[in-house]
Structure 1
Amino acid sequence: MSYFAVDDGAHSHPKFMAATNAALGLWVRTGSWVAQQLTDGHVPGTVAKLYGTPAQARSLVAAGLWHAAGHECPRCPQPRNGDYYMHDYAASGNKSRAEIKARREQSAAGSKRHRDRQAPKAPPPGEQLDLGGDEPDPPAPVRAPIRPDWQPTREDIHAAQVARGDAGLPPLTADQIDSVTTKFIRRQTDDGRLAVAWGGRWREWAENERTASPPAPGSNVVPLARAAGGSTADTRAAAAFQLAAQLEAEEN
């Protein structure tokens, strides 16, 4: 960013005293524009008209703060007809266009060197970049079709029986669990469904399975009778585990 320099003694300088306050406002505004556009003190006539009036421009020329074309100041260059030049622009502490551009290029080069130092270094050709850690990342879970021999776990059966008890439904017998599992596998296969694990979906089927009639006497059902001093939840959990143990014993 460039700046337009104003001396701290300008307020009482004879040339400032000779110009009107409105003209000095034009001088400051055009000075800011000149510094931004790097014109080295040249003020286009269009800019002078944009920020001020012809009377204000004449006041600056009369006070010696601006020069019009054809001026006789030996230290200042000649502007084009209709333009102005700010008297002693460079001598008043304002940087030239060349100085500002050189400073900007130097600053940009310094910023680039800093970014280059902060950037991660690429490994030499043939050398693998060490990102830390010796163990490879575990493989991502794979969604696959259900196996024809898939079976629910003891935990799946327990969770389904407890949920049925909470819903006021009777527990499933071993035969009913086998039937639910067979229907579940057939439906998932027919629909072409894929999953990482099937326990959760099976529990939903088992929880919602509607039995046609109460189990016949002698069926392999663990009753959910409340044990003395025990809670209903404890009783349901115990019954579910007993059923799972019976199923496991039958398989063996």
Structure 2
Amino acid sequence: MPWFKVDDALAFSMKAINAGNPALGLWVRAGSWSMQQLTDGFVPGSMVPALGGTEADAEALVTARLWHPHDGGFRFHDWSDYQPTKEQVLAERAAATERKRVSREKSRQRSQGESRRDARGIDAVIPASPTRPDPTRPPSTTPDGAVEGSREAALSPFCPKHQPNGPDGKSCRACGDARMALEVSRAATRAKPTPLPTRDPECETHPGYPLPCDRCAREAAEVAS
């Protein structure tokens, strides 16, 4: 919203003193109206009584050179030197609208994923991870082959003090312990489990007898004889 600006030296300026308080009241109200309507300081003659002024007040402003007669009305003296013009106000409104649009777009992107900087220092939006794994897609892996999100991927070959690039050639016992823990985790993850021994299916009539059940065969032979 634009504002009608009043100089802090107006109170005792000769123009204001010569115009008088009634005329100066009209001048202030007319300035506020002109800024709201974006008329660039033009006040139609019909607006003078609507703003509480009289013809005498308008003439006093003209005599004091605060107004100039113009096309059936009056125009403020040097309006564009002290007040923003219609063109400037509309340009600022358009810029504010664009700033709000960009802000809303950034908020929408942040709500859909997390923002981080890539290697070039440019903001990149990373889509949020799905709440459920997709069995049709292979698991993502880190550069050293660990499955993302696994305990192995969470481990680091360096201690917290030397993250993320290591101790820069210096010996660090804590980094050595971290590397050992990582290797143990990798070995445990990649080791093939020993298959459990399997048992032959058992006879439901004679538990403990594998199929085909010899006891069932003997009993059937006895019945047949």
- Give the TM-score of the pair, scaled to structure 2: 0.49
Between 1 and 2, higher relative CO (CA 8 Å, sep ≥ 6) is seen in: 1
- Greater share of residues in strand: 2
Work out which of the two has the higher radius of gyration on C-alpha atoms and give 1 or 2.
1
